[in-house]
Amino acid sequence: MVGMASRLFRFGLRSYLANAHTTLTTAVTFYSTAEVDSFRVHEFTEKYLHHRKAVFTEKMTFVDPAQVPTVPIYRVTDSTGKFVDPSQDPNLDKEFAMNVYRKMSLVEQMDKILYDSQRQGRISFYMTNFGEEASHIGSASALQDDDLIYAQYREVGVLMWRGYSLESFMNQCYGNAEDIGKGKQMPVHYGSLEHNFVTISSPLANQIPQAVGSAYAFKR
């Protein structure tokens, strides 16, 4: 890795980025120094944010898009993993942090296997969670287990965190006799009364009014 990164910097990052940006991004993220990170952010804004400048903020506030050129990106840690504001450190113990990391890794590995299964024709449909593992596992870890969840099909980490077994994931995607729904639902449309997880539906955003209705019912 060190040798590869040295060659990238020596022979020109921009030309290499144009031909193999995935490899470069991996190398840059791995080193994560202040200088390299600023370059990565610059390239990211240049290629994927329509030349808009990425601005970070450490405060969670409401922003009027009409009053600012870009909506700031909220962050707690910098690219090296250090807390920007020490008061925001949740002081998680190592065992908890490792459990979160293991669940994230497990989701990724399960995604790879089931995605390949779909491409091979073993199952009819699959949607991955690549790049989103931290968002839903992190959110789920902050909730109580009896909190009702309305999720969409790329938030499998919530169920993973709550103890939904790998066998149950497989049974649902393969639609076999062991599946809770007996194969009557599309793959990836998980649901579990035991884990307070409402069965996933295909249309996006329909969970919002449903969740609001449930919240009002619980409040009453």
Burial (CB count within 10 angstroms: exposed 0-12, middle 13-18, buried 19+), residue 161:
buried
Residue 69: predicted pLDDT: 77
Residue for token pair 């790879």: 112
Question: For residues 58 and 61, what is the distance between their CA atoms, to the nearest angstrom?
Answer: 9
Nearest to 196 by CA among 152, 155, 159, 153: 159
Instruction: State the Cα angle at 139 between 220 and 152, rounded to 5°.
Output: 80
* Full-model pTM: 0.70
pLDDT truncated to tens, each residue of the chain (220 aa)? 444 444 434 444 444 444 444 443 343 333 344 454 555 555 555 555 565 566 788 888 888 888 877 788 888 888 788 898 899 898 999 999 999 999 999 999 999 999 999 999 999 999 999 999 999 999 999 999 999 999 999 999 999 999 999 999 999 999 999 999 999 999 999 999 999 999 999 998 999 999 999 999 998 8
Decide which of 3.40.50.970, 3.40.50.1370, 1.10.275.30, 1.10.540.10 is the CATH code for 91-219.
Answer: 3.40.50.970
Residue 38: predicted pLDDT: 54
Beta strand 149-150 with 73-74 is unpaired
Residue 16: predicted pLDDT: 40
Residues facing residue 83 across a β-bridge = 77
Question: For residues 131 and 129, what is the distance between their CA atoms, to the nearest angstrom?
Answer: 6
Q: How many CB atoms lie within 10 A of CB 175?
A: 17
Residue 15: predicted pLDDT: 47
Residue 81: predicted pLDDT: 82
The answer to whether 10 and 2 have CB atoms below 8 angstroms apart is no
Q: How far apart are the first and last CA of the chain?
A: 58
Residue 50: predicted pLDDT: 61
Q: What residues does each domain of the chain span?
A: 91-219
